[in-house]
Amino acid sequence: MGCSSIPVGDISPENEAQCSGRGDCLNGTCLCEIRYSGEECSGFNLPYHAGISAVFYFVGFVSLVQLLICIIAEYQRLKQPSFLRACRLTTQKLLYFFVFVAAVLRGAYFTTPETLQPAWVSYLMSLYYPLVMTCASLVVCLWAEIFHLQGIRWERSQFLSKSFLGFLAFNLLPYSLFLAEIAYSHLFSGRSTSFFNGCYAVLLLIVVIFFLIYGVEVFFKVRGGFVYDFGVVPNSENVNASQLHQSRFGLLSQAIMMIVIVGFLTSETLGDFWKKKVPVYSRNWHDIVFRLAEVGVALWFPCCLWNSMAPEQLWILNPRKLLTRQIDPVAPESTEAPAEPSTSATAEEGQSFLAKKDCWICYDTDKPEPLIQPCKCIGDVSSVHHECLRRWLVDSCANSDAVLKCKVCDSPYEIERSNRLDWEKGFTIQHWAKTIIIVTLMCITGAGAWVIIQLNEDSFVRVLVAGFAIIIGYILFKMLGENTVTAIQRAKVSSIYIVTSVNDLQT
């Protein structure tokens, strides 16, 4: 059965009906898109699907083998071998696992295009992007800890510490978006879900930005865990040039491929505006480059994590590999002799301290509570009521990293922790009020975006609204997490007992 040649760009119903809407008519013959075949482009191009699926299955197989080798190697290193301890969660294992799942799902998508229902095919197509974002964001959080935290031996296989909540909070967004896509496709089965691709593109772009920020700081500026407070900076003499070039090439290649995917996801979102206006050759090249970028992003992880038995040899997990020798944070020796304390000055300060014993917080001399000296301060800021100090610490702890130490002399307080947390002082009325406001704003943002998307059929407006809703939701979700963490920290601080360093400060 032939077809009638119609100029490219003609989006009339007659033209769209030709070649099953999957190709262009050229000299009475259907020239199909690369995914389809047949006289009327009604069938699927099996060699294309088999080739792409085989590549993804290969990537998944390699990741699975690397995961098993990693577990076996860790099992053999244990002094008391235990399978459960060998399977403990580490960044390396989690990357292997998520790459394996992403590659297998994408391989399944290309393996059975005819047997699966269209909805399930769409789900397999979309789930790949949250999994890729999980892998990339995990690497970003690891590099962020390497850049900000000092004194941690990153050559040992471990998992995230300080950035785990941020990693978890961000990854709730793409998976929530995936669940929203499933719900939308069930509620509105006849409508296009292409605007979700634009949402994935926005989230992936955020990951790429942070991927480049921390990657440049660690591997281009060679900073992060290499720069210490005392001023030792890596130079050309102690930097491994080969590892440095490999890390920079790996960083840029992955960033470029993810940016390409962001661009193609955006183009897929706007596909209704341009696909029928360009020749089938251009659409085929678009599809091929898109798939190659997806394969490259998935293949990048097992390539960079090639050494499953020794993670300390991998620059992606241990940037110290860039150094030819280990730089130990040893403070420089002082050439000047320490000054001897003045006996007369010490005596005068002691007399002043004994003569004036006021709480530096409340200055209440009639309060029956005894004074304590919890730090090395002397003078009028040395004594304080226990409850005053604890209340001040509770009010000043802004986050879970708050250090319980004196703000003046910088000496840590000697504290005794209780196993029972004071939840009432942590989760206060102000905390619940702030939580209610944040949750309400999140609901209003989601509902408002949903209404606008339903009322507006313009794909560009839908993507724009969804993108703004995701960004606002992310900010609100981050505020909610910080509010909860602060409340937990307040509960922890409220349950401590501060030990005095002076025993005779009784009123």
CA dihedral 376, 378, 381, 386 (to 10 degrees): 50
Spatial separation of the C-alpha atoms in residues 31 and 48, rounded to whole Å: 15
Spatial separation of the C-alpha atoms in residues 385 and 443, rounded to whole Å: 44
Number of other CB atoms surrounding residue 328 within 10 Å: 7
Tell me, what CATH number does 33's domain have?
Answer: 2.10.25.10
Backbone angles phi, psi at 402, to 5 degrees: -60, 130
- 399: in domain: yes
- 109: in domain: yes
Which tokens hold the place of 327? 């730089």
Domain coverage including residue 452: 424-494
Both 153 and 210 in one domain: the answer is yes
Q: Which amino acid is at 375?
A: C
Output the tens digit of pLDDT for each of the chain's 507 residues: 556 655 554 545 555 567 777 788 877 788 888 888 888 888 888 888 888 989 999 999 999 999 999 999 888 888 788 888 888 888 999 999 999 999 999 888 888 765 555 566 777 788 999 999 999 999 999 888 887 776 666 556 678 877 888 899 999 999 999 998 888 887 877 677 788 888 999 999 999 999 998 888 888 877 666 654 334 556 666 777 888 888 899 999 999 999 999 999 988 888 777 777 788 888 888 889 999 999 999 999 999 988 888 887 888 888 877 776 554 444 444 444 444 544 444 445 444 444 456 776 666 666 667 777 777 777 666 677 777 777 667 666 544 344 567 767 767 776 666 555 566 666 777 777 888 888 888 888 888 888 787 777 777 777 888 888 888 888 888 888 877 777 777 676 666 667 665 444 444
pTM for the model: 0.63
Which of 413, 441, 476 is the endpoint of a domain? 413
Both 206 and 273 in one domain: the answer is yes
Which of 322, 343, 370 is the endpoint of a domain? 322
Backbone angles phi, psi at 502, to 5 degrees: -125, 130
Both 308 and 210 in one domain: the answer is yes
Tell me, what CATH number does 395's domain have?
Answer: 3.30.40.10
Spatial separation of the C-alpha atoms in residues 87 and 196, rounded to whole Å: 35
Both 95 and 224 in one domain: the answer is yes
Q: With beta carbons less than 8 A apart as the criterion, state whether 233 and 226 touch.
A: yes
Q: With beta carbons less than 8 A apart as the criterion, state whether 103 and 173 touch.
A: no
Which tokens hold the place of 422? 């004071």
Both 36 and 140 in one domain: the answer is no
**Contact partners, residue 340, CB within 8 Å, separation at least 6:** none
- 502: in domain: no
Q: How many domains does the chain have?
A: 4
**What is the 8-class DSSP label of residue 219?**
I
- 347: in domain: no
Q: With beta carbons less than 8 A apart as the criterion, state whether 273 and 459 touch.
A: yes
Both 57 and 3 in one domain: the answer is no
What's the angle, vertex CA 222, arms to CA 216 and CA 227, rounded to 5? 125
Both 74 and 14 in one domain: the answer is no
Both 209 and 243 in one domain: the answer is yes
Which of 380, 413, 446 is the endpoint of a domain? 413
Q: What is the pLDDT of residue 231?
A: 45
Please list, residue by residue across 259-274, b when 16 or more beta carbons sit within 10 angstroms of its beta carbon and e when fewer do. bbbbebbbbbbbbeee
**Contact partners, residue 48, CB within 8 Å, separation at least 6:** 34, 35
Both 471 and 372 in one domain: the answer is no
Both 105 and 10 in one domain: the answer is no
Q: With beta carbons less than 8 A apart as the criterion, state whether 255 and 208 touch.
A: yes
Q: How far is CA 254 from CA 91, 141, 210, 299, in A?
A: 18, 16, 13, 10
Both 188 and 168 in one domain: the answer is yes
Q: Which amino acid is at 29?
A: T
Both 265 and 365 in one domain: the answer is no
- 499: in domain: no
- 14: in domain: yes
Q: What is the pLDDT of residue 337?
A: 46
What are residue 498's DSSP bridge partners?
A: 415
Q: What is the pLDDT of residue 403?
A: 56
Q: What DSSP assignment string belongs to 341-371?
A: PPHHHHHHHHHHHHH----TTT--TT--SPE
Backbone angles phi, psi at 228, to 5 degrees: -110, 165
Place of tokens 């100090």: 389
**What is the 8-class DSSP label of residue 252?**
H
Q: What DSSP assignment string belongs to 437-468?
A: HHHHHHHHHHHHHHHHHHH---HHHHHHHHHH
Place of tokens 């070039």: 245
- 57: in domain: yes
- 225: in domain: yes
Spatial separation of the C-alpha atoms in residues 305 and 316, rounded to whole Å: 7
Specify the length of the chain in residues. 507
